[in-house]
Amino acid sequence: MSNSLPGLRGGAVMSVAAWSLCATGVAVSQSSAPVSFTKDVIPILKERCLACHGESQRQAGLDLRTRDAMLKGGDNGPAIVPGDAIESRLYRRISGLEAPVMPMDGEISESEILTIRDWINQGAAIRGAQETATVDADLLQYVSRREGSCV
């Protein structure tokens, strides 16, 4: 029966750890298996971002439905710099390197942040004919409020 880490303290330690990870832009290097735009990236954007950066709203002039639209970017320029997540505003905003942190009023998990980071670092690639560069309009309506580790 070990009570060496009371729940409250354990919780506080976890929060600080999650906060530091986010605040430093998830600088920890991780394995980066090839990321699929269609299978891995689009579902994250649909769930976390497109309510405000898609068909019905373009906050900051930014449309995140296609790779081309990300390259064009928003009011402050391109959202992605292929091959360089750290220089990409989209990554800077979700990782906490640049404020205000995205998704605004929402949540995104650490693994989702790492998926997007790896995709950008891999050249923001769209591989092969089965990969689509466009998000289906009929899937834009939902924004989940699932628990994330960075809020």
Judged by the rule CB under 6 A, the positions of this chain that interact with ligand HEC are 48-49, 51-53, 59-60, 62, 73-76, 79, 89-90, 93-94, 100, 102-106, 108
What is the nearest approach in angstroms of ligand HEC to the Cβ of residue 1?
43
Q: How far apart are CA 84 and CA 135, in angstroms?
A: 23
Query: Which residue number, 49 or 97, has a Cβ lying nearer to ligand HEC?
Result: 49
Q: How far apart are CA 143 and CA 27, in angstroms?
A: 27
What is the nearest approach in angstroms of ligand HEC to the Cβ of residue 122?
17
Query: Which residue number, 11 or 134, has a Cβ lying nearer to ligand HEC?
Result: 134
Q: How far apart are CA 149 and CA 18, in angstroms?
A: 6
What is the nearest approach in angstroms of ligand HEC to the Cβ of residue 23?
17
